[in-house]
Amino acid sequence: MNHPQLNRFPKYKKRGTPQSYTTDEQSVKVEGKHIKLPKIGWIRMFQELRFEGEMIRVTISRTAHRWFVSITIDTGTPNTPRDTRGLPVIGVDVGINSLATLDNGTHYENPRPLKRYERKLKREQRKLSRKVFLSQNWYKQKRKVERLHYRIACMRLDAHHKATTEIVKGASAIGIETLKVTHLLKNRTLSKALSDSALGGFLSKLKSKAATLGIHVEEAAEFFASSKTCSNCGEKKEELSLSDRQYQCVSCGFTEDRDVNAAINLKNLAVGQMES
């Protein structure tokens, strides 16, 4: 009996759709920085495989003007978590102006790549709209727009990976806030800036890297008022606008940067959870 997934006609993909295909591991060979693909032959890769194990699946895809090969490898049992007893507990507050702020006052800048290239992107997309659809000039201009989008995405990912790697290397536990991105995007005045920052993706990378190193990540409750609560006495403000960048407690007179105060509250939450 034929397998139901193998006796169908192949699906046609036109040039405008994302170009990718998946092949089995038996027809692929990897030696150093070279990979042998079926019907193509040996191709040089940018870097060698970073993991050892059984190769399960290989996917070749195109993003803008670059081709990527994604190799799924079964590494078996994960490595023993590192000893984090000598490292501090860190609170991380994310935002738009600063991508991440730690409780010790460290700030990681947000590159805001979409805002930086917004005028150029509009100009190139306007040129694309004036071309004859599916003509050769339309495809040329479409590739220019794709490369610009790719550059924006790379700048964002580079900032995320550098910040998250540095944070997890110096922490024994991390306290973060819970973000509902779909709720935040309902604010039309901040939706573009929030999408440009990709805070949900930043926290996902942070949790994934922390789990690999065996670091506990404590997420605050959804409505935990980390910015409105005083980290010194615990007094909570009823009103705090986004323009107030300095937190001043009316009860005890404590003064601190708004983001640092929120990061300290997240750190205290993680410390209390670890002690319990």
Domain map of the chain by residue range? 20-74, 89-275
Distances (CA, A) of 166 to 94, 246, 274: 15, 26, 22
- Mean pLDDT of the 5-24 span: 73
Q: Decide: helix, strand or coil at residue 150.
A: helix
Entry pTM: 0.83
Q: Which residue has the higher pLDDT, 48 or 1?
A: 48
Q: What is residue 90's predicted lDDT score, i.e. its pLDDT?
A: 93
Q: Is the pLDDT of residue 80 over 70?
A: no
The phi, psi pair for 197, rounded to 5°, reads -75, -30
Q: Is the pLDDT of residue 104 over 70?
A: yes
| 101-112 per-residue burial string, b: 16 or more CB within 10 A, e: under 16 | bbbeebbbebbb
Q: Is the pLDDT of residue 45 over 60?
A: yes
